Amino acid sequence: MLALKQNRTTPTVLTLSLLLGLCGMQDVLAGDTSDTMRVGDTQFGNALDPLGWTPMLQPADPDGMSLLHAGMLRTPTGNLYPYPPMVNAGKPVGQGDWLYNGEIEFGYLHVGGDRNAEYFRQYADWRSGPVLGLLALNFWNPKTGEYVEFRGNHLSADDQFYRLRAGQYGSYRIEAFYRDMPHTVSTNAYPIWNGVGTTNLTLPPSLVPGGSTPAQVAAVSAVTPEHNIGLKRTREGLSYEGVVYQNWIASAGITNEKRTGTRLWGGSMFFNYSFPDNGGILETVRPIDFRTTDINLSLRNVGKVWHFLATYNGSFFRNHKDYLDFQSPFALSNVVGVPQVANITTGQFSLEPNNDYHNVRLDLSRELKWNGQLTVAGAWGTMRQNDALLPPTNCTGTGGVYISPTANYTFPCANWNTTAALSEPSANARIDTGLLDARATFHPNQAFGWHAGLRWYREDDKTRYLAYNPLTGQYGFISENGSQGTVVPGQTGFFDPNNPLYASNSVPVRNVPVSYTDAVLELGADWQLSHKTSLGVTYTYDRNEPKYRERNRVDDQRFKLAWVSRDVVGATIRLSWEYARRDGDQYNYDPYVPFYSQSLPGFVTPAVGLPAYTVADMRMYDLSNRTESKARLIVTHPLGESATISATFYGNRDNYDALIGRQSTRTTGATLQWDWQPSPKTTMNGYLGVEGSRMGIANVNDADSVDNGKIYGSIGQTNPNLGGPFYPYANQWWEYDSETNRNAGLTFSHDFGRVRADLSYNYTGSVGHVGYNYATIGALAFRDAASVAASNQGFPDDKYRTNTLDMGLSFRVTSNVGVRLYGRYETGAFSDWHYLGLNNTLVYDHRLYTDKGGQLHYNASLVGVMLNLKL
């Protein structure tokens, strides 16, 4: 893995200048500014008001959607349109033509119960105190079509949004926004390190790096204060859309998203269950300090013959924390009690590198004969990152690698903890993409139409890196930080053609530049069988040509039928069915030899041959042969003039031709929904949903498995075939992961006149089960009596369940003053077998955990009172 050091740059100066220039244009001509291009964010809201303008949506307009049609209207498929809210006539601004209206809602929230429960706070910063429920101001000029809109909501400093829009209908629009969103990862964490949230985690003075016992670490963990682990997303942007000349319309937008905080992370990793009293397993805390800048530019023209659209999309990621250093409290030791040559006490992770993305696209379309249309698109993109690389290690003094009971290797850290040990100073990583897409559609008459499309896409990874240390003449890198490479013989991490001890080490020395070319042909037709019934048929052929993968060609053929009828006992029926078959050329289970040391000069093939690192019958799920079928049925039935009942049934089946690997997936689900709105004052909706999924995989335990420090078989076996001595049938095992999800909801709203009542209930439940079986106990990593007995009992089910009840009463004191009482009660239950046993301690031998998991049961409540004033 390349260690990366970030370079801080800001790519927004030029774009901001362009935006300011566009916004300051004086010669804006009349034209169409439809929403063909989307500038700005599409949704504003937070936990207190997900819609972002709920107080302004009451009451409903009794005239409905149209003055020409009393009551409700329906979509062509039978769904009800909701009653729109009443339009505020507005008040004049001075003596001119401008009008305005506004609303402010503020009050106080009290949070009770288990307010710190992880799932209760996961995406909401609930806390007791004053809140701003809504601030909205609207100004508009009916004669000129000009307008200015502002709205905002402030639940807390970490949970708020504001948006300002201005423009002129048919001419231009400007938008600026700011929004925060919290994300709580854990409220039950106990990190033992100092410096949480920084790039350097140091142990407290009572612990010695590399020299502490599990009991000492457990004592420190027991008195560590509880921490909340999480982050905050801050998103802000500015955008413009408007006419620049005659029918030419331009748009420009820039958005910054910053993420700051912490998250749970890894550390030293080794098989502590197999080799107790070693470097073990650590769970650390990493810092989050990202910034992503997105830039979107477009220019379009709708001419008499040709339609033109040119777009540019750029994304620039900057990580202000480029590494994580941590001290390990435990010493690293070797297998079978062999003492470590030299202890390594500090670990290092390279965090995400800075990277840039650019994409330019051109779309052209024109009308054709037979009521047809031709659309052609071309695009080019590139993804690049060239951060300075960090040294391969951060050890000091002397490092050591265990080779055998009679051969150890020590190395000066000075040959590896410097950038002079790198073959290149920076990553120089680059991936280019190209796209050509053409589509033609024809409808020669009202009853028949057909279309054809051809799409070509290529992703080319141009990154080429060779891990070579010019100071030592060795290839690869030192595996350190208490991990597997410094313990297991033959996994030292480097190859040395000049030293017989390491001239046969098979280690990765180059990056794998995975690329592919994808070509898709689509043919389809649709028939209007009657006034209310239609049939569609589509055939798709997808040819994918991966590079440096297990297959050089993958063919996917798909056939789809879609039938729609609005004439089945008064209901609308939509039925679709798909069948797909994927195959390809010969499968090569190990195509990565060119990227390992055996491809370099001086490599000496071991006398017994190269070891088999995976079974030859393994199939990657995205490249193996597969048969897929999908079916979906949607029924929408109007009930009288004011209600609709709708149901959806769906199922997906995938079967993979794999003895080892993913073998099958299944998904089946159904939803039932009832909508009722007998008058503008009353609305009621009910929803039920259930989904079940199942995935089956198979694998085989190699004959080198370890049980309590004893190695079964001999390391270095070369036969990769299933049923051979290295991967015997007796060691095969199967796993079946299944999950069932259920959800339900009910909402009710009624306006009694001066009082409006709102009620909402939501239920979410999930049960996950892991089932497995095996040929013999040889498939188990641990074969003692206790492990065999535990394996026969299986894993307990994972369970997750929440119930949320929201209630509100809105009182209209006067036409301009209102009071809203708000309450929420939420319960939850959580059970995950991964966290079983984390009760009295987070330290088990040389395994240190930081997080105890979500609260098993919680009950939390909110009570609030809001004052609503119309401005």
Residue entry with tokens 């801050």: 234
Instruction: Give the mean pLDDT of 823-843.
Output: 88
Give the DSSP per-residue string, 646-700. EEEEEEEEEEE--SEEEEEEEEEEEEEEEEEEEETTEEEEEEEEEEEEEEEEEEE
Instruction: Give the mean pLDDT of 43-50.
Output: 76
Q: Is the pLDDT of residue 59 over 80?
A: no
The Cα–Cα gap between 843 and 329 comes to 12
Confidence grade of residue 558 (pLDDT, cut at 50, 70, 90): very high
pLDDT > 90 fraction of the chain, expressed in percent and rounded: 61
Q: Is the pLDDT of residue 240 over 70?
A: yes
Beta strands in 219-354 (DSSP E): 227-245, 248-266, 281-302, 306-319, 323-327, 346-350
Q: Tens digits of per-residue pLDDT, 201-231?
A: 999 999 998 888 999 999 999 999 999 999 9
The CA-based angle 178-184-185, given to 5 degrees, is 135
Instruction: Give the mean pLDDT of 139-147.
Output: 94
More confident residue, 25 or 234: 234
Question: What residues contact 95, with CB distance under 8 A and at least 6 apart?
Answer: none
- The closest alpha carbon to 168, from 47, 23, 62, 271, belongs to 23
Q: Strand 660-679 to strand 618-619: parallel, antiparallel, or no bridges (unpaired)?
A: parallel
CB 202 within 8 A of CB 193: yes
More confident residue, 871 or 581: 581
pLDDT at 231: 94
Largest CA distance in the chain: 98
3-class state of residue 400 by DSSP: strand
- The closest alpha carbon to 350, from 379, 316, 326, 376, belongs to 326
pLDDT at 56: 66
Instruction: Give the mean pLDDT of 786-808.
Output: 88
- Mean pLDDT taken over the chain: 86
Instruction: Give the mean pLDDT of 741-751.
Output: 95
Least confident piece of the model among 83-92, 651-660, 689-698, 710-719: 710-719
Q: Tens digits of per-residue pLDDT, 489-524?
A: 556 678 889 988 788 888 889 999 999 999 999 999
Residue entry with tokens 């998991």: 853
pLDDT at 705: 55
The Cα–Cα gap between 828 and 615 comes to 43
- The closest alpha carbon to 580, from 513, 530, 635, 626, belongs to 626
The Cα–Cα gap between 764 and 744 comes to 7
DSSP label at residue 115 = T
3-class state of residue 22 by DSSP: helix
3-class state of residue 793 by DSSP: helix
- Long-range own/partner contacts, residues 780-785 (CB < 8 A, 24 or more apart): 780/701, 780/705, 781/273, 781/274, 781/701, 781/705, 781/706, 781/707, 782/273, 782/707, 782/708, 783/707, 784/707, 784/708
Q: Tens digits of per-residue pLDDT, 164-187?
A: 999 999 899 999 999 999 999 999
pLDDT at 378: 98
Confidence grade of residue 373 (pLDDT, cut at 50, 70, 90): very high
Least confident piece of the model among 17-26, 387-396, 586-595, 851-860: 17-26
pLDDT at 325: 92
Confidence grade of residue 41 (pLDDT, cut at 50, 70, 90): low
What burial class does residue 605 get, using C-beta atoms within 10 Å of its C-beta: 0-12 exposed, 13-18 middle, 19+ buried?
Answer: exposed
DSSP label at residue 531 = T
pLDDT at 652: 97
Q: Is the pLDDT of residue 3 over 60?
A: no
The backbone torsions φ and ψ at residue 335, rounded to the nearest 5 degrees and listed phi first, read -70, 155
3-class state of residue 215 by DSSP: helix
Q: Is the pLDDT of residue 560 over 60?
A: yes
Confidence grade of residue 734 (pLDDT, cut at 50, 70, 90): very high
Amino acid at 596: Y
The Cα–Cα gap between 564 and 577 comes to 12
pLDDT at 492: 64
Least confident piece of the model among 49-53, 528-532, 724-728: 49-53
What is the number of helices (H) and of strands (E) in the chain? 3, 42
pLDDT at 792: 80
CB 664 within 8 A of CB 656: yes
What burial class does residue 191 get, using C-beta atoms within 10 Å of its C-beta: 0-12 exposed, 13-18 middle, 19+ buried?
Answer: buried
Count CB atoms within 10 A of the CB of residue 259.
18
Q: Is the pLDDT of residue 622 over 90?
A: yes
The Cα–Cα gap between 779 and 784 comes to 13
Count CB atoms within 10 A of the CB of residue 373.
15
pLDDT > 70 fraction of the chain, expressed in percent and rounded: 86
pLDDT at 290: 94
Q: Is the pLDDT of residue 398 over 90?
A: no
- The closest alpha carbon to 156, from 31, 269, 47, belongs to 47
Q: Tens digits of per-residue pLDDT, 92-121?
A: 998 889 999 999 999 999 999 999 898 888
Confidence grade of residue 4 (pLDDT, cut at 50, 70, 90): very low
Q: Tens digits of per-residue pLDDT, 401-428?
A: 655 555 566 678 889 889 999 999 999 9
CB 331 within 8 A of CB 279: yes
Per-residue buried b or exposed e for 813-844, using 16+ beta carbons within 10 Å of the residue's own CB: eeeeebbbebebbbbbbbbeeebeeeeeebbb
pLDDT at 762: 96
Helix (H) or strand (E) holding 860: strand 857-870
Q: Tens digits of per-residue pLDDT, 317-361?
A: 999 999 999 998 987 655 444 455 556 788 888 999 999 999 999
Question: What residues contact 130, with CB distance under 8 A and at least 6 apart?
Answer: 106, 107, 108, 109
